Amino acid sequence: MTKPKAARSDADTMTISVEDMRAVLTLYNILDSELDDILECCDVSLSQVRSLREAANNVSNKFNFRPVVSEDGNPHHWLPKVLATDDKAWFYEGGK
């Protein structure tokens, strides 16, 4: 038996531009291609890692994904990012 789906509200949806959607598509295509290469060759090159990092950073910047803020106000860059609207999102002093 599956759980019934919760009702969606306007807060659950967002509209993104075609340019932003292209950035997500580019990230997907790079991930797909690089992961295929890694799985087929059982090897990874630094240029593949760099292209994955660049694509991830591009999407993170486009969508303003933020690091989680710690209790002392410092960012935890190594943890998964959160949306800018999240209460746990870190911003530079005076930013938001």
Q: What is the pLDDT of residues 37-96, one digit of tens each?
A: 888 998 888 998 999 889 989 889 988 899 999 999 899 999 999 988 899 999 987 655
- Residue pair 85/96 in contact (Cβ under 8 Å)? The answer is no
Say whether both 70 and 59 belong to one domain. Answer: no
Residue 12, pLDDT score: 72
Q: How far apart are CA 96 and CA 91, in angstroms?
A: 6
Say whether both 45 and 24 belong to one domain. Answer: yes
Is 45 domain-assigned? yes
Is 12 domain-assigned? no
Tokens in use for 34? 């690089």
Residue 4, pLDDT > 90, answer no
- Domain span including residue 29: 18-63
Query: What is the phi/psi pair of residue 37, to 5°?
Result: -60, -45
Is 96 domain-assigned? yes
Say whether both 27 and 57 belong to one domain. Answer: yes
pTM of the model: 0.67
